[in-house]
C-alpha cells in the first residue's frame, strides 16, 4: 500500500464530497417547488451565512488546496450564485478544476510554507499543517453545514446522502 500523500487525503475526498453536494442540491431544487429563495437563504441562526455561502466556501476551500499546495494556477470566481443551477455550475467548475490537479504536484510539499491572508491577518502553516488543521476541517465544516441547512428545510436527505452511498 502506498503511503498517504497530501494529494490523496485532499483531492479525491474533496471530489467525492463535491459530487455529494451536487446530488443533495438537486434534491433541494426538487423540494423547493418554486420557492428556491427560502432554501438558498436558509440559515441555522440569524448571524450565520446562508446555504449559498456554504457552497461557495466549500468550493473555495477545495480550490485553495490545489492552488496553495498543488501549485495550480489560481482562478478567481465571483461569489454571485443566486439559484440552484448557478450553484450546480459552481460545483461542476470546482470538480473540473480539481480533476486537473496532478497527483504528483503535492509530492515533497509537506514542509513547504503556505501563507494565507485572513480577516484577522496573515497565517503561516507548513503545507501539512494547512491541510490537516485548516483546509480539511474548513471544507467539511461548510459541506456539513450545507447538508444541515437542506435537512432543516425538509429536503429528504440523510446520512447515506452525505456519505455518497446513494
Phi, psi of 125 (to 5 degrees): -140, 160
Domain for residue 1, yes or no?
Answer: no
3-state secondary structure of 92: helix
pLDDT computed for residue 95 by the predictor: 98
According to the model, what pLDDT value does residue 34 have?
82
CATH number for the domain harbouring residue 141:
1.20.120.450
Name the band, by pLDDT with cuts 50, 70 and 90, for residue 3: confident
Total Cβ atoms within 10 A of residue 85: 12
Predicted confidence at residue 25, as pLDDT, reads 97
Is there a domain that residue 5 lies in? no
The answer to whether residue 59 is domain-embedded is yes
What range does the domain containing 128 cover? 11-101+110-163
User: Of the candidates 68, 40, 57, which has an alpha carbon nearest to the alpha carbon of residue 137?
Assistant: 57
Number of independent structural domains in the chain: 1
Q: Tell me the three cell numbers of residue 4.
A: 498517504
Q: What is the pLDDT of residue 33?
A: 85
Tell me the pLDDT tens digit for each residue of 94-150. Answer: 999 999 999 999 999 999 999 998 889 999 999 999 999 999 999 999 999 999 999
Amino acid at each position: 500500500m502506498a503511503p498517504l500523500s497530501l494529494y490523496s487525503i485532499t483531492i479525491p475526498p474533496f471530489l467525492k464530497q463535491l459530487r455529494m453536494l451536487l446530488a443533495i442540491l438537486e434534491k433541494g431544487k426538487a423540494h423547493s417547488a418554486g420557492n428556491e429563495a427560502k432554501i438558498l437563504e436558509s440559515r441555522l441562526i440569524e448571524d450565520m451565512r446562508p446555504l449559498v455561502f456554504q457552497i461557495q466556501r466549500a468550493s473555495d476551500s477545495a480550490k485553495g488546496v490545489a492552488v496553495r499546495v498543488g501549485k495550480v494556477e489560481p482562478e478567481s470566481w465571483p461569489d454571485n450564485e443566486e439559484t440552484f443551477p448557478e450553484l450546480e455550475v459552481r460545483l461542476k467548475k470546482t470538480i473540473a478544476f480539481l480533476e486537473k490537479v496532478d497527483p504528483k504536484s503535492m509530492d515533497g510539499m509537506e514542509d513547504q510554507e503556505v501563507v494565507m491572508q485572513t480577516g484577522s491577518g496573515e497565517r503561516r502553516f507548513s503545507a501539512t499543517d494547512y491541510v490537516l488543521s485548516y483546509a480539511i476541517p474548513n471544507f467539511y465544516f461548510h459541506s456539513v453545514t450545507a447538508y444541515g441547512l437542506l435537512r432543516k428545510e425538509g429536503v429528504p436527505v440523510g446520512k447515506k446522502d452525505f456519505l455518497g452511498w446513494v
